[in-house]
């Protein structure tokens, strides 16, 4: 039997220790790992990269590595399509920051998904969302302008889009969800403070009003896999178009 490479043996020892760390607690640096186990920096780096790939730690550019305890983010037809409510239900603290919110004519593809005419205006809402104050999700949400005429003002008072739509007299529920894993590059990596070429989730979903089945929002969002574990309920997946 071929023995494990040295970096994996080190990684297993570190993982057992880090599992007991608080979420967001700093973990030993490459130099500290190298000194502790009397190995080259390259071996220490490989051990930390292995732990990153296993979502045991998250590496923040320019800041170091930190313990991460992922939360489950279930998607099903019975659960309200609310980021804030879902994160709170997992025992974590959510927060969202509006990067921009402006009315514009949506691209033809977006208008078709929202069942709108190309001449119908939409709000384009860009938000960065946090879990326990760590960047976790970033993306764009499209909302028909007639549903909430001054969405920018409403989002300044309440950072939950689901609650804003509910306050407008709507009952959002999921119509369909498309999910895939994607490599984070460019703006996505920058916004999420994620390492280049790291793997994460891309979720696109359409929400409709439960009473009228009229589309109320289209979400296109990227989620860090080292913070969020996306789960789907197969018993109801056909009802959400997955």
Do 111 and 169 lie in a common domain?
yes
Token reading at 29:
């640096």
Compute the mean pLDDT over every residue in the chain, rounded to the nearest whole number. Answer: 90
Assess whether 51 and 79 both reside in one domain.
Answer: no
The pair of three-digit structure tokens given for residue 174, joined into one six-digit string:
């999921």
Name the pLDDT band for 150 (thresholds 50, 70, 90): very high
46 has pLDDT over 60: yes
Residue 111 sits in the same domain as residue 154: yes
Is there a domain that residue 1 lies in?
no
Q: How far apart are CA 36 and CA 62, in angstroms?
A: 22
Query: Are residues 52 and 160 located together in one domain of the fold?
Result: no
Shared domain for 140 and 85, answered yes or no, is yes
Nearest to 67 by CA among 27, 11, 7, 14: 27
d(CA 46, CA 63): 18
Close Cβ partners of 242 (under 8 Å, ≥ 6 residues apart): 75, 176, 177, 178, 179, 232
The verdict on 81 and 145 lying in the same domain is yes
Whether 170 and 184 share a structural domain: yes
Terminal alpha carbon distance of the chain: 42
Identify whether residues 16 and 49 lie together within a single domain. Answer: yes
What tokens does 242 get? 């997955």
| Same-domain check for residues 147 and 207 | yes
**Phi and psi, residue 231, nearest 5°:** -125, 150
Q: What is the pLDDT of residues 168-217, one digit of tens each?
A: 999 999 999 999 999 999 999 999 988 888 889 999 999 999 999 999 99
Boundaries of domain holding 154: 71-239
Give dist(CA 208, CA 212) in Å, integer: 8
Name the domain boundary from 31, 49, 67: 67
**5 pLDDT band (50/70/90 cuts)?**
confident
Model confidence over 91-142: pLDDT tens digits?
Answer: 899 999 999 999 999 999 999 999 999 899 999 999 999 998 889 999 999 9
Residues 145 and 136 sit within 8 Å (Cβ to Cβ): no
Instruction: Check whether residue 80 and residue 44 sit in a common domain.
Output: no
Residues 90 and 62 in one domain: no
């Amino acid at each position: 039997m071929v023995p494990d490479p040295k970096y994996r043996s080190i990684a297993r020892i570190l993982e057992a220790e880090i599992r007991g760390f608080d979420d967001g607690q700093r973990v030993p640096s490459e130099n500290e790992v190298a000194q502790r186990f009397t190995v080259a920096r390259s071996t220490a780096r490989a051990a930390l990269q292995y732990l990153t790939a296993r979502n045991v730690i998250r590496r923040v550019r320019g800041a170091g590595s930190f313990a991460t305890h992922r939360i489950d983010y279930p998607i099903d037809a019975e659960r309200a399509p609310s980021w804030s409510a879902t994160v709170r239900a997992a025992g974590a603290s959510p927060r969202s920051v509006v990067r921009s919110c402006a009315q514009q004519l949506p691209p033809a593809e977006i208008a078709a998904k929202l069942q709108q005419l190309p001449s119908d205006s939409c709000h384009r809402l860009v938000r960065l969302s946090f879990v326990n104050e760590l960047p976790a999700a970033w993306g764009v949400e499209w909302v028909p302008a007639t549903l909430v005429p001054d969405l920018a003002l409403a989002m300044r008072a309440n950072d939950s889009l689901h609650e804003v739509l509910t306050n407008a007299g709507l009952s959002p529920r999921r119509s369909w969800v498309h999910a895939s894993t994607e490599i984070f590059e460019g703006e996505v990596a920058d916004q999420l403070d994620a390492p280049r070429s790291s793997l994460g989730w891309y979720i696109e979903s359409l929400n409709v009003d439960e009473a009228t089945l009229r589309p109320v929002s289209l979400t296109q969002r990227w989620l860090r896999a080292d913070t969020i574990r996306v789960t789907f309920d197969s018993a109801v997946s056909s009802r959400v178009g997955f």
